[in-house]
Chain A
Amino acid sequence: MANGKINITINGIEATVQKGSYLLQALRDNGVAVPTLCHHKDLTPSGTCRLCVGEVEQRGKKKLVTSCNFPVRGEIAVDTESERVETHRRVLAEMYLGRWPNVPLIQEVAAICGATDKEKYRSELTDENPKACILCTHCVRACDEFIQERILDFAGRGIKRHLTMPFGEVDPHCIGCTSCAYVCPTGAIEVVDDMNHPVDPQMIRDFGMRINAEMAMLDKDQCRMREVGTANIVDVMDAYDLLPVHNYKFGSHENTKNIDSKILKARYYTQDHPDGCWKGCSMACAKAVDGFELRTGPYKGDRVVVDGPEYETAAAGANMGCFDADFIIEWNFYCDTYGIDTISFGTCMAFVMEAFEAGVITTEHTGGKELKFGATGAVMECMHEIAVGEGFGVEVGQGIRYLKEKWIRELGADADFLQDIGMEVKGLEYSEYVCKESLAQQAGYTMAVKGPQHDEAWLIFMDMVNNQIPTFEDKARALYYYPLWRTWFGLHGLCKLIWNDIVPLSNKNYEPQVAAKVPDHVEDFFRFYEGMTGEPLDEEGMLAQSARVHNLQRVMTRMLGYGLRKDDMPPYRAVGPVTAEEYESRAERYNKQLEELAGFDTKGKSTEEKMKAIREYRMDQYNRVVDAAYDKRGWTRNGVPKIERLKELGIDLPRLVEIIKDDQE
């Protein structure tokens, strides 16, 4: 049959089921009630309780199978009401009842199976506790599948089988996620300590577990966070021409294969367990490299553990033209050890390299270092110089804005060129995404209060690939909602990755504009808030809370002398091609855009003429997006919150109004 469907007979009635699905699911989908003890919807079936049996007839042979772990592969007939099945179930249920007579779940299942006699199998094993452990293995599987740990397991055989932690002691590897307690059907595992005293711990657990179960089931087909962490997008970004290469000149490179997630997984990553950064989260996005032998610096020759590399670190390698995984890991280690941010350093170094190749600086200025793209050794030298506080590295360590000013002042360098290629806004270096083809992302970066940090980087796909927010108003709406949403969950200590790096299957049922928000996860986050504080929250309430903080931040930047439109202006490299080399490398794209969108006839025009035209077109578009976004946010044309907006948000405090009153229109 088409689409992997298969015909089977259930209790004499024809039914169509998905090939390969488990029989229990097929039965339940067709309205057949089946008693179970060890089955759990979010866990792989274990087939231990044997209550879910059915009598299956295949090629003339009949046999009893446990339906929860029996995959339907061929055309079968199944009977769940036969004498044999009913007797099997009843006897089993009587035995369970004899052993755990007061556990409500057992009583319920026994009633379904027609077992009423509590005395028949009573013995010295009988446990009168209504919260007794019934050996269903839910907790063991949850710990294994959600957390990838085996903290809990069974010890002893036969009637002596019981649940325990290794050596009967509390295991320090237990991350306290409470998954085991959550899936326990009897209450045998109890949570005794609720840190932070939430108003409704059960609510938080209910919604948190939904996310943990999704991770266990969906991650392997979605972002592979557990396998390779955020580095999974090195490959994706390269494929979509978004991976920064040579100071954001290009979006992909033939050597990306040397640093992508495949190579990192095959040759380097060792850790695949949650690192406990967020108590109870089972995503396990953190990766580590064990036993890595350092080749430079004060720890040369030592074998060390390296935390990473994450996407941004690997991508910064590409940005510096260093497609060398050994280098990236060594550099990652020393950045961590010296307390240096890999993004800021990588982006700054990429700028230095371009300036070096363009002749703005020479070995005379770099202390003899040939700082061309790909110069891994020279990058490490600069790095160690930052740490000891001498040499050219000290200057690199002060960032792009500092270097631009210094080189213009002292070397008479071309100020326009440096402004175009120095990837910083508000003094912060760009994170590692090429945003030339996404207007919304360009503005998302520049308008972020803290500068172009990777927090704001997710509008690229919505805008550039999906064309989901085509008009300026659409983009302005996205530039309103998403930064506020991000600000909100950041303020509450919630992580972005569990919001949209694993998305529930149900997300496919929403139309794309809504799906982009991952509404079910937004709902989960609101429930975390409610469980913690006792107050319900919806989108409107969230936006109001967040907008207060966001506007307060904007007023504060004004107080510090920034916060005007000029501070939201990007280097042109973030918007379009600065050099002829860049234009030519994507000439087809740019020519097409000029012809179709800008109404510019490219025939017979030189690259310089076309570059000038596309620059005018793109900067005009950029300014229009900013206008629309300011307007939507209730800010002036110059990017300052209007006093009415502060009133609306209830934060028109005299001290704040004082700061912005001269900037009003």
Chain B
Amino acid sequence: MILVNNRDKVEWREGMTVQDVLDAMGYDYALITVTIEGTFVPEHDYETCTVPDGSKVGLFHLAHGG
């Protein structure tokens, strides 16, 4: 199980990447900052960076519009 933004639970599976977590949450927003256990993950690593089971993942959307 992965905990997103200290609230939402996502089922973990072997080899799960940051991109998989984003997809599972349905997040396709342009201005997202990703952290795993507080460590920042750069965008070009989303496809390759794997997320360990039990991780706390931060998917932070920057506000825009209006």
Residues of A contacting B63 with CB < 8 Å?
458-462, 500, 516
- Interface secondary structure of A, over-half rule: helix
Residues of A contacting B31 with CB < 8 Å?
222-223, 503
Q: Mark A221-243, 1 if CB is under 8 A from B, else 0.
A: 11110000010110011011000
| A230 nearest in chain B by CB position | B65
| B45 nearest in chain A by CB position | A3
**B11 at interface (Cβ–Cβ under 8 A)?**
no
Residues of B contacting A312 with CB < 8 Å?
66
Q: Check B64 against A223 for contact (C-beta < 8 Å).
A: yes
Q: Check B58 against A508 for contact (C-beta < 8 Å).
A: no
Residues of B contacting A371 with CB < 8 Å?
none
Partner of B44, one of A4, A433, A466: A4
**A518 at interface (Cβ–Cβ under 8 A)?**
yes
Q: Mark B30-66, 1 if CB is under 8 A from A, else 0.
A: 1101010010101111001000000000111111111
Known pairs A233-B64, A515-B60. 10 more at Cβ < 8 A?
Answer: A222-B31, A223-B65, A236-B29, A457-B65, A467-B7, A470-B6, A500-B64, A507-B62, A508-B33, A511-B35
| A431 nearest in chain B by CB position | B66
* Interface, chain A (partner B; CB < 8 A): 2-4, 221-224, 230, 232-233, 236-237, 239-240, 311-312, 431, 433, 454-455, 457-462, 465-468, 470, 496, 500-501, 503, 507-509, 511-512, 515-516, 518
Residue from the set A311, A459, A507, A512 with the largest chain B CB neighbour count within 10 Å = A512
Residues of A contacting B64 with CB < 8 Å?
223, 233, 458, 500-501
Residues of B contacting A459 with CB < 8 Å?
63
* Interface, chain B (partner A; CB < 8 A): 5-7, 26, 28-31, 33, 35, 38, 40, 42-45, 48, 58-66
CB distance from A248 to the nearest CB of B (A): 16
Partner of B40, one of A2, A508, A518: A508
A599 to B49, CA, bound (A): 38
Residues of B contacting A240 with CB < 8 Å?
29
Residues of A contacting B33 with CB < 8 Å?
507-508, 512, 515
A232 to B66, CA, bound (A): 11
Q: Check A468 against B44 for contact (C-beta < 8 Å).
A: no
Q: Check A466 against B66 for contact (C-beta < 8 Å).
A: no
Sampled A-B contacts (24; CB under 8 Å): A3-B45, A222-B31, A223-B65, A233-B64, A433-B66, A455-B66, A457-B65, A457-B66, A458-B63, A458-B65, A461-B61, A461-B62, A461-B63, A465-B5, A465-B61, A466-B60, A467-B6, A468-B60, A470-B6, A500-B64, A501-B64, A507-B33, A511-B38, A518-B62
CB distance from B39 to the nearest CB of A (A): 10
CB distance from A93 to the nearest CB of B (A): 37
A345 to B35, CA, bound (A): 42
Q: Which 8 A-B pairs have the closest CB atoms?
A: A458-B63, A233-B65, A467-B5, A512-B60, A461-B61, A454-B66, A501-B64, A457-B66
A381 to B61, CA, bound (A): 40
| B28 nearest in chain A by CB position | A239
Q: Check A3 against B35 for contact (C-beta < 8 Å).
A: no
A312 to B29, CA, bound (A): 19
A465 to B28, CA, bound (A): 13
CB distance from A481 to the nearest CB of B (A): 13
Residues of B contacting A221 with CB < 8 Å?
30
Residues of B contacting A222 with CB < 8 Å?
30-31
CB distance from B23 to the nearest CB of A (A): 13
Residue from the set B29, B38, B45, B63 with the largest chain A CB neighbour count within 10 Å = B63
CB distance from A524 to the nearest CB of B (A): 16
Q: Check B65 against A311 for contact (C-beta < 8 Å).
A: yes
A507 to B58, CA, bound (A): 15
Q: Check A466 against B43 for contact (C-beta < 8 Å).
A: no
A565 to B7, CA, bound (A): 31
A537 to B18, CA, bound (A): 39
Partner of B26, one of A2, A223, A237, A239: A239
Residues of A contacting B45 with CB < 8 Å?
3
| A510 nearest in chain B by CB position | B33
Residue from the set B6, B43, B45, B66 with the largest chain A CB neighbour count within 10 Å = B66
Residues of A contacting B42 with CB < 8 Å?
508
CB distance from B29 to the nearest CB of A (A): 6
A433 to B60, CA, bound (A): 19
Residues of A contacting B29 with CB < 8 Å?
236, 239-240
Q: Check B66 against A500 for contact (C-beta < 8 Å).
A: no
* Residues A466 and B40 in contact in the complex (CB < 8 Å), given A236-B29, A239-B28, A501-B65: no
Residue from the set B28, B30, B58 with the largest chain A CB neighbour count within 10 Å = B30
CB distance from A487 to the nearest CB of B (A): 15
| B6 nearest in chain A by CB position | A467
| A221 nearest in chain B by CB position | B30
* Residues A466 and B30 in contact in the complex (CB < 8 Å), given A3-B44, A4-B44, A512-B35: no
A461 to B42, CA, bound (A): 20
Residues of B contacting A457 with CB < 8 Å?
65-66
CB distance from A12 to the nearest CB of B (A): 29
A433 to B42, CA, bound (A): 30
Q: Check B65 against A466 for contact (C-beta < 8 Å).
A: no
A465 to B30, CA, bound (A): 14
A432 to B33, CA, bound (A): 25
A630 to B38, CA, bound (A): 31
CB distance from A589 to the nearest CB of B (A): 12
CB distance from A642 to the nearest CB of B (A): 30
CB distance from A631 to the nearest CB of B (A): 24
A616 to B42, CA, bound (A): 42
